[in-house]
Amino acid sequence: MNATDIQPPPTAGRVWQTITVAQRAADSADENLWLTAGYFLASMAGVALLLSFLGMALIYIERKVAAHFQCRVGPMRVGPFGLLQTVADTVKLVFKEDFVPRMADRWLHMLAPFLALLVPVVLLALIPYSPAAQVADLNIGILFITAIGGFGVMGILIAGWSSNNKWSMIGAMRAGAQIISYELSATLALLVVVLFSGTMSLSGIVHSQESGWWIWRGHAAGLCAFLIYLVASTAELNRTPFDIPEGESELTAGFHTEYSGLRFAFFFLAEFINMFTVSALTATLFLGGWMPFHIGDWSAFNASMDAIPPALWFIGKTTAIIFIIMWFRWTFPRLRVDQLMHLEWKVLLPIGFANLLVASVVVLTNAYPFPVAAP
Amino acid sequence: MAGTRGLRSSRRALRQPSRPAPRVSRRRLAGVSVAQRLSGRVHAGAAEVSVQVRTLDELLHAPLIADSELTTQEYLVNMGPQHPIAHGSLRVVLRLDGETVKHVIPVPGYVHRGVEKMCEHLTYRQIVPYTDRLDYLSAIMNNWAVARMVEAAAGIPTNYRIETIRTIMAELQRLQSHALWWGVTGMDLGAYTAFLYGFREREIIGEIFEETIGARLTMNYIQPGGLMYDIKPDFAAKVKKLLPYLKDCIEQYETLLSGNVIFQERLRNIGMIDGARALALGCTGPILRASGVPYDLRAAEPYGMYGKVQFNVVVGAVGDCWDRYYVRLEEMRESIRIIEQLIDNIPEGPIATLRYNDDIILPEGLHYGHVETARGVFGVLAASDGTSKTPYRLHFRSPNFNNLWVVTAIAAGWRIADFIAIQSSLDLVIPDIDR
């Protein structure tokens, strides 16, 4: 199913047209190869810029959020509004001694941080930031995301195994068990949205939410899938309350105990970029992505919502999810391993399956509060 | 036994470790008074604690179990001396099978300074500053133990002003210590925000100490026969302003951690130790009280102004990590109550009954003085030859040393994360163990 096949319902105000960078490049391939190459380079540069910008911005945001939660003044002081805090952090990390433990598997030890960073960078290219800003829109988008997303655990497993440290090894084993388990629940939640929207393409999913977001238009099933996805993806991120692979008070620092300086920074960058991609995906799947807030056939209201640029909608929704994930981190204690597994296999997974059933009933009976574009 | 609060509802089935620790029901403990048990007439549970004396080397190099190819292999890891959970320089060797703790071998001694030996060359006044370097979170209370020992042995009188200020300061310090412990427990269980909240309260109380004493951490304030410095005129006003704030803070603690379902899951029914076993191991303080034994030196043998104020001895029911957590939280409320009763009328009078350079010579014999610190009973035992200004031999009975061995007694069978919760709930201060 191609995104452009979806016809917007007649009640919606503006007709949104998604043109990805890949599409532009393909269109120009026949006439001007240089233009195609230009699009190629521009998208690469764009992703690279976004990567570095997100790295800086998310660390800044995290420090500010943490500072406000914890009544700290440090990140408020370095530079105006603490803006130079990230610079200070980066400089400190760059100048730290970079070492590999003596008996460690040297090459794997050095490879692991790059593997960890690979996944979120690939996913950055798939996210629909706005109708005009998306690098590629795969028709198997969701499938690709779940397939690639599971690859991230490789970096952590290799890091823990190659470090020649028992604490790292325990952390890596925990990470393997945790991320692979929670992948199931996250995928089940994604499937609910696929059922609702009838497409796996990300921009198709965004288009399908023109007359209402799935979080509330999918009845309880949409909300339930949203919550499951939020919890499961927080676990995949290794963030509190699911940061047991790090567990800094138990395992010193878990899988990245033996990493210092820039290599450590890569792990953290991967975590932050991952947090962004997870938040962006949650916003895209359940909160309409860049799609403005529409209510059924209220054309005047919808038109006024359309006046706000779609990129702003996307940023707003993503930021809200990022804040929620940070909020988790700075208030929740850490779970224990068996509690974590209990939550996944005995709570989230059964609920996820039941939810999928409920969602299919909703789709079959076409019981939406607002008209839906026929897929 | 005043004010026993039912701290738990044990509706949920107990999660048993793979090697369950022996539990003594409340019924068995009932009918035996604490005084009886302490006097040694009833050795409750003593038979259950088997003491096997083995050297550290034997423990560390005991064969690791890998019977057949079907079993997993045990391995040793060092938790400490540099580990976030060590809270100092304590090394604990864990014998692990996967994530399950099989055996715990504490290896203290990394901050051993020979304080007791040094004290044999010091006058009793000079010993005081050494005590607050042992348990630096109970510095003032530790000072008081020396003061009590010397005052009782040499018959030095004090007055109500001295005792009132001592009590207020000790309770403030207990609040400070428990606030820090609360934060550290939060941090150990992954809630980093709690750590900074606990530290915030600690610093606020520290400022009050700083104004009076001039120090924030190692405060040598209580001297035999009096106090080092008099309180400032606005001391009472400042403390009275602080108390409602601390009450709010405790409510905040409850909101942030106690009410959190993850936090409760991490602490409830973890690391149970029953009262008899705790007594047999020599535990004191909140750990003993959490196991249901209402023994608090402040109530059992009142000193200072404790006999003249109303407060409850808080006890737990099961002796798990949650009880130890909640007993301390309740103790903070009780400390606030004690200060509230004393702060309004601090009597007038001199703050010392001796001149600072008066020599103190204790009569010949053994002299003992003890106080209830934030972590349990801190005692000072001095042997005097009756002629010297210095003790012939001096020994500290520090609460943390006994409390540490709870870990070896109960940690086996739990997971690494539970071990963290257990050790964190013991509230260890390492220099106090090593001396």
CA A295/CA B177 separation, integer angstroms: 56
Mean pLDDT check: name the lowest of A234-248, A349-363, B275-289: A234-248
In order along its 435 residues, chain B shows pLDDT tens digits of 333 333 343 333 334 334 344 343 333 334 444 444 444 443 444 444 455 666 777 777 776 666 566 677 788 888 878 888 877 788 888 888 888 888 888 888 888 888 888 888 888 888 888 888 888 888 999 999 999 999 988 888 888 889 999 999 999 999 999 999 999 998 888 888 888 898 888 999 999 999 988 888 888 888 888 888 888 888 989 999 999 999 999 998 888 888 888 888 888 888 888 888 888 888 898 998 888 888 888 888 888 888 888 888 888 888 888 889 989 988 999 999 999 998 888 888 888 887 766 778 888 888 899 999 999 899 999 888 888 888 888 899 989 888 888 888 788 888 888 888 898 888 888 888 888
pLDDT 10s digits, A149-192: 878 888 888 988 888 888 888 888 888 888 888 888 999 998 99
Residue A373 has a pLDDT of 52
Nearest to B430 by CA among B395, B393, B403, B394: B403
**Which residues in chain A touch residue B77, judged by CB atoms under 8 angstroms apart?**
166-167
Residue in the structure block whose two tokens are 């790295």? A55
State whether B257 and A333 contact (CB < 8 Å): yes
Q: What is the pLDDT of residue B14?
A: 38
B interface mutation test: which of A329, A332, A340, A342 has the most B CBs within 10 A?
A: A332
Q: Does A113 touch chain B (CB under 8 A)?
A: no
> Does the beta-carbon distance from B83 to A335 stay under 8 Å?
no
Q: Is A240 on the interface with B (CB under 8 A)?
A: yes
| A and B: number of Cβ contacts within 8 A | 78
Give the residue-averaged pLDDT of A72-100.
80
Contact A222, A214 (CB under 8 A): yes
Determine the pLDDT at residue B172.
Answer: 92
Residue B260 has its nearest CB partner, among A251, A333, A337, at A333
Q: Is 60 exceeded by the pLDDT of residue A330?
A: yes
Instruction: Please answer yes or no on whether B263 and A167 come within 8 Å at the CB atom.
Output: no
Residue A156: name the closest of A123, A103, A120, A102 by CA.
A120
Q: What is the pLDDT of residue B244?
A: 92
Q: Which residues in chain B touch residue A341, judged by CB atoms under 8 angstroms apart?
A: none
Give the closest of B85, B188, B418 to A336, CB-based.
Answer: B418
Residue A86: the pLDDT is 80
Residues of B in contact with A331 (CB under 8 A): 191, 193, 256, 260
- Nearest-CA distance B263 → chain A (Å): 6
Residue A148 has pLDDT above 60, yes or no: yes
Nearest alpha-carbon partner for B143 in B378, B388, B356: B378
Averaged pLDDT, A322-339 = 88
CA B404 to chain CA centroid, Å, is: 10
Is the preceding omega at residue B294 within 30 degrees of 0, hence cis?
A: no
Distance, in Å, from the CA atom of B209 to the CA atom of B213, rounded to the nearest integer, reads 6
For residue B151, what are its two tokens?
């005052």
B380 vs A350: CA distance, rounded Å = 60
pLDDT value at residue A17: 77
Contacts of A71 in chain B (CB under 8 A): 196-197, 200
DSSP state of B52: -
- Map residue B148 onto helix, strand or coil: helix
Q: Which residues in chain B are contacts of A69 at CB distance < 8 A?
A: 193
Do residues B328 and B183 make contact, with C-beta atoms less than 8 angstroms apart? Answer: no
Identify whether the C-beta of residue B258 lies closer than 8 Å to the C-beta of residue B8.
no
pLDDT above 70: percentage of residues in chain A:
93
Kindly determine whether residue B415 and residue A337, on different chains, have CB atoms separated by under 8 Å. Answer: yes
Alpha carbon of residue B317 to chain centroid: 19
Q: Which residues of B touch A337 (CB under 8 A)?
A: 99, 415, 417
Is A332 part of the contact surface with chain B (CB cutoff 8 Å)?
Answer: yes
When CB atoms are compared, the residue of B188, B262, B418 closest to A241 is B262
B226 pairs with which residues across the strands?
B223, B352
Residue in A69, A248, A336 closest to B266 by CB: A336
Q: Which residue of A has its CA nearest to B83?
A: A252
Amino acid at B107: V
Cα three-residue angle A40-A46-A49, rounded to 5 degrees: 145
Secondary structure (3-state) at A133: strand
Cα B406-B288-B42 angle, rounded to 5 deg = 100
A73 touches chain B (CB under 8 A): no
Nearest to A249 among B196, B256, B420 (CB): B420
pLDDT of residue A371: 60
**pTM of the model as a whole:** 0.81
